[in-house]
């Protein structure tokens, strides 16, 4: 059987594109423009949602007019209409975090400090919402890099409000990069 | 001999410290404690400095959580809660951020001396009419372990301690 010329290159390119495609949007379940559910896996709820512990990792979703955070069997929903502010930001965290990360501080020869140099970029999402009695609540989430603006757009499409549009925030976050270049 | 001279020179200083300490504790003891069955926590204001919203929200949420843990109040109302206005025995906590320095967790962990995050807040307790009951400046820090938002937790713990000390 004769293999056509250029087939190995085409095959390799196809495999590469498939791999890159799966990496590009690992957590987007559905498109924001359709108005359907969008979920962001491995989202950390830093604080603010009632009934959940601080730094709980779960899935953040914008569905049926609500923000829904699910961790195992626990599910907390906040009506999007009650969200009065959605803001995004950027931050970094230790690649090796948690208890293991803390224990590495005691590693000999400054090993812990060396490991602290390895950091992962993350996005932050802060929301302010109002409960049924008018009380203001705040919640903070951290997401994988590049997902916060998508989450903000998804929440806005479900009925949340903000003082700064997603486009303006995207421009503001892109400006420092341009300056560095 | 030299040692005796050294200790004798330190003695007056020790006496001064002893008496000033006792005077201060006596003042604390005579200070009447504030009585209130409920407290309303208002969202932190930051007119003088630009405070990122995540810090503002973390300040507010940590304050509510830590004040609830003190068990000094029957109700801890949030900002905007309509039920607070009908509470007869209410004290309101106003927080105004006047200093903020965002550090770096990475710098803290690598150098252990640089990259501290600091939040300076003026806390004012008033009654419903706005009459000042008590005011104090509180600083929240994170110097080594934890993310930048931990400064808000440190601040909230200190405010909770102030409430334990000054409220019945």
pLDDT at res. A38: 84
The strand order across the sheet containing B75-77 reads: B75-77, B38-41, B90-101, B117-127, B132-142
Q: Please tell me the distance in Å from B95's CA to the nearest CA on chain A.
A: 15
In tens, the pLDDT along B83-94 reads: 888 888 899 999
Q: How many domains does chain A have?
A: 1
Domain span at residue A145 reads: 27-180
What CATH number has the domain bearing residue A52?
A: 2.30.29.30
Task: Examine the pLDDT at A48 and tell me if it is beyond 70.
Answer: yes
| Nearest neighbour of B83 by CB, restricted to A87, A117, A133 | A133
In tens, the pLDDT along A90-108 reads: 877 777 777 777 787 778 8
pTM (2 d.p.) = 0.76
ipTM: 0.77
Query: Nearest CA to B84 among A131, A48, A83, A135?
Result: A135
Query: Nearest CA to B163 among B66, B79, B82?
Result: B66
Task: Examine the pLDDT at A34 and tell me if it is beyond 80.
Answer: no
Within a domain: residue A45? yes
Residues of chain B neighbouring A126 (CB-CB closer than 8 A): 53-54, 57
Within a domain: residue A1? no
Within a domain: residue A6? no
Within a domain: residue A55? yes
Residues of chain A neighbouring B109 (CB-CB closer than 8 A): 94, 105, 112-113, 116
d(CA A137, CA A49): 8
Within a domain: residue A170? yes
Range with lowest mean pLDDT among A159-168, B17-26, B80-89, B114-123: B17-26
Within a domain: residue A9? no
Q: Please tell me the distance in Å from A134's CA to the nearest CA on chain B.
A: 5
Contact criterion met (CB < 8 Å) for A113 and B61: no
What's the rounded mean pLDDT across residues B139-152? Answer: 85
pLDDT at res. A22: 44
The label of the residue with tokens 């791999």 reads: A19
Cβ atoms of residues B155 and B123 within 8 Å: no
CATH 3.40.50.1010 fits B37-166, yes or no: no
pLDDT at res. A21: 43
Query: Which of B42, B57, B69, B83 is the best mutation test for A, with the most CBs of A within 10 A?
Result: B57
Provide the mean pLDDT of chain A: 78
- Assign residue A159 a region (left: φ > 0; alpha: ψ between -120 and 50; beta: otherwise): left
Domain range annotation of chain B: 1-31, 37-166
In tens, the pLDDT along B94-136 reads: 999 999 888 887 778 778 788 888 899 999 999 888 888 888 9
């Amino acid at each position: 059987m004769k293999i056509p010329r250029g087939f190995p290159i085409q095959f390799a390119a196809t495999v590469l594109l498939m791999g890159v495609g799966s990496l590009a949007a690992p957590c987007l379940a559905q498109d924001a423009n359709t108005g359907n559910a969008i979920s962001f896996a491995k989202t950390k709820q830093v604080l603010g949602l009632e009934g959940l512990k601080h730094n709980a990792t779960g899935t953040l979703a914008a569905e049926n007019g609500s923000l829904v955070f699910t961790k195992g069997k626990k599910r907390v929903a906040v009506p999007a209409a009650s969200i009065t502010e959605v803001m995004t930001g950027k931050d970094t965290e230790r690649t090796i975090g948690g208890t293991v990360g803390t224990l590495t501080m005691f590693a000999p020869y400054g090993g812990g400090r060396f490991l602290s140099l390895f950091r992962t970029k993350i996005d932050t999402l802060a929301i302010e919402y109002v409960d049924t009695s008018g009380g203001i609540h705040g919640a903070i989430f951290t997401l994988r890099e590049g997902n916060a603006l998508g989450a903000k757009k998804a929440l806005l499409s479900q009925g949340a409000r903000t003082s700064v549009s997603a486009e303006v925030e995207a421009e503001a976050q892109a400006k420092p990069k341009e300056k560095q270049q | 001999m030299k040692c005796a001279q050294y200790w004798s020179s330190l003695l007056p200083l020790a006496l001064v410290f002893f008496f000033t300490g006792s005077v201060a504790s006596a003042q604390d003891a005579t200070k009447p404690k504030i009585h209130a069955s409920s407290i309303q926590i208002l969202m932190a204001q930051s007119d003088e400095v630009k405070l990122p919203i995540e810090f503002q929200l973390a300040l507010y949420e940590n304050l509510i959580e830590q004040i609830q843990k003190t068990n000094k109040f029957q109700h801890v109302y949030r900002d905007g809660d309509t039920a607070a206005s009908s509470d007869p025995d209410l004290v309101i906590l106003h927080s105004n951020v006047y200093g903020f320095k965002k550090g770096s967790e990475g710098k803290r962990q690598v150098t252990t001396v640089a990259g501290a995050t600091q939040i300076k807040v003026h806390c004012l307790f008033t009654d419903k009419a706005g009459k000042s009951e008590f005011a104090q400046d509180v600083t929240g820090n994170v110097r080594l372990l934890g993310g930048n938002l931990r400064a808000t937790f440190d601040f909230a713990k200190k405010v909770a301690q102030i409430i334990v000390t000054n409220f019945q």
